């Protein structure tokens, strides 16, 4: 089958091993790419060393391989592109689209006028590196058409909510790195968890500042626990058991609205299961769903 112009990706942060929630996002982006005869890429977003867990990148790549989620190129690592992110920040500085800001979010939230009073933003105080750089966002509202959730409007309260692009630790923020890479890797479709709908605001603002066309964003439901919290490494979701790869795929496919035929419900390996799922994939059953719950017999963490 010939390739289309579609380019998708899965972009995990190596802050822990994959769990059922991250598998769901990986499978959705894989199926959407394959169902469109597209290219699928894996990017390890390793730009936050204090939050990373030793060995997590290798474990994530191994789990994806065991679940037969094979990419079309070698994985890329954001930690190898730090100079590129710094140069983009320089470009934005030269265009006066970012400003240096020593204030914490807490200070800004505590007192909306802090930004004017602190003297840094008005030029009354001069700063010394290291300092954070924030994007001048301007508009308080952004609208986009999500490929799954439909028409979506997001609000911000600038300058209070102006996102950080370069952290005072000298590291790029998630916003800067993800936009730079999605653009430069030619990603046309970003299929990821609904917890990332809100950060899409900052990403759209940055695409606009850089004069780049944003990809199509498609947000799939996240797996919630009994308390309605997203299953995550922070709330101790159980890592995937690679020995149960076929069962793990059956679980996430059910949550993605795909009904396997009886033989694949009982047997079949990850490749057979994924092959069927590519043919059965549709974004439609997920429309308007921001969260799903695991079937009770599959208790994968809280
Ligand atoms: N690296 C992010 C995470 O693991 C996801 C980034 C994205 O898909 O845009 O939550």
pLDDT digits (tens, 9 = 90+) for 145-190: 999 999 999 999 877 788 999 999 999 999 999 999 999 999 999 9
- Measured in Å, residue 99 CA sits from the centre of ligand 1 at 25
Query: Among 47-61, 169-183, 227-241, which is the least confidently predicted range?
Result: 227-241
CB 194 within 8 A of CB 167: no
Q: How confident is the model at residue 138 (pLDDT cuts 50, 70, 90)?
A: confident
Residue 24 pLDDT greater than 80, yes or no: yes
Residue 37 maps to a domain: yes
Phi, psi of 133 (to 5 degrees): -115, 125
Domain total for the chain?
A: 1
Which residues are CB-contacts of 120 (< 8 A; sequence separation ≥ 6)?
100, 101, 102, 103, 127
Residue 289 maps to a domain: yes
Residue 209 maps to a domain: no
Residue 148 maps to a domain: no
Q: Which structural domain range is residue 75 located in? A: 7-79+187-193+220-293
What is this structure's pTM? 0.92
- Measured in Å, residue 119 CA sits from the centre of ligand 1 at 35
pLDDT, greater one: 127 or 219: 219
Task: Please give the average per-residue pLDDT across 88-112, as a whole number.
Answer: 83
What does the pLDDT read at residue 298?
55
Q: Which atom of ligand 1 is nearest to the CA of 192?
A: 8
- Measured in Å, residue 13 CA sits from the centre of ligand 1 at 6
Query: Among 96-100, 186-190, 212-216, which is the least confidently predicted range?
Result: 96-100
Whether 12 lines ligand 1, by a CB cut-off of 6 Å, is yes
**Ligand 1, atom 6, residue with closest C-alpha:** 11
Whether 182 lines ligand 1, by a CB cut-off of 6 Å, is no
CB 250 within 8 A of CB 273: yes
CB 43 within 8 A of CB 181: yes
Residue 106 maps to a domain: no
Whether 11 lines ligand 1, by a CB cut-off of 6 Å, is yes
Tokens of 199: 């950060």
Q: Which atom of ligand 1 is nearest to the CA of 45?
A: 1
Residue 97 maps to a domain: no
CATH number for position 41? 3.40.50.620
Which residues are CB-contacts of 74 (< 8 A; sequence separation ≥ 6)?
none
Residue 158 maps to a domain: no
Q: How confident is the model at residue 3 (pLDDT cuts 50, 70, 90)?
A: confident
Task: Please give the average per-residue pLDDT across 20-27, as a whole number.
Answer: 97
Residue 113 pLDDT greater than 90, yes or no: no
Residue 281 maps to a domain: yes
- Measured in Å, residue 250 CA sits from the centre of ligand 1 at 23
């Amino acid at each position: 089958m010939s390739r289309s112009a579609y380019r998708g990706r899965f972009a995990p942060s190596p802050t822990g091993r994959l769990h059922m929630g991250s598998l769901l996002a990986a499978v959705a982006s894989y199926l959407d790419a394959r169902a469109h005869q597209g290219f699928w890429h894996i990017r390890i977003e390793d730009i936050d060393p204090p939050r990373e867990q030793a060995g997590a990148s290798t474990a994530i790549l191994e789990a994806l391989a065991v679940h037969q989620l094979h990419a079309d190129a070698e994985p890329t690592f954001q930690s190898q592109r730090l100079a590129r992110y710094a140069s983009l920040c320089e470009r934005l500085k030269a265009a006066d689209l970012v400003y240096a800001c020593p204030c914490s979010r807490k200070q800004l939230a505590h007192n909306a006028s802090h930004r004017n009073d602190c003297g840094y933003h008005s030029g009354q105080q001069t700063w010394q590196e290291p300092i954070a750089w924030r994007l001048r966002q301007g508009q308080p509202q952004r609208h986009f058409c999500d490929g799954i959730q439909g028409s979506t409007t997001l609000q911000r309260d600038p300058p209070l909510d102006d996102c950080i692009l370069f952290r005072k630790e000298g590291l790029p923020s998630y916003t800067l790195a993800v936009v730079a890479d999605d653009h430069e890797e030619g990603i046309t479709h970003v299929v990821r968890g609904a917890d990332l709908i809100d950060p899409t605001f900052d990403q759209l603002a940055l695409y606009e500042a850089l004069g780049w066309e944003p990809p199509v964003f498609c947000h799939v439901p996240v797996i919630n626990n009994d308390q309605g919290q997203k299953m995550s490494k922070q709330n101790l979701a159980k890592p995937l058991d690679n020995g149960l790869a076929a069962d793990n795929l059956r679980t996430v496919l059910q949550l993605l609205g795909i009904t396997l035929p009886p033989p694949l419900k009982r047997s079949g390996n990850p490749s057979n299961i994924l092959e069927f799922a590519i043919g059965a994939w549709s974004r439609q059953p997920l429309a308007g769903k921001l969260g799903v719950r695991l079937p009770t017999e599959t208790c994968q963490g809280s």
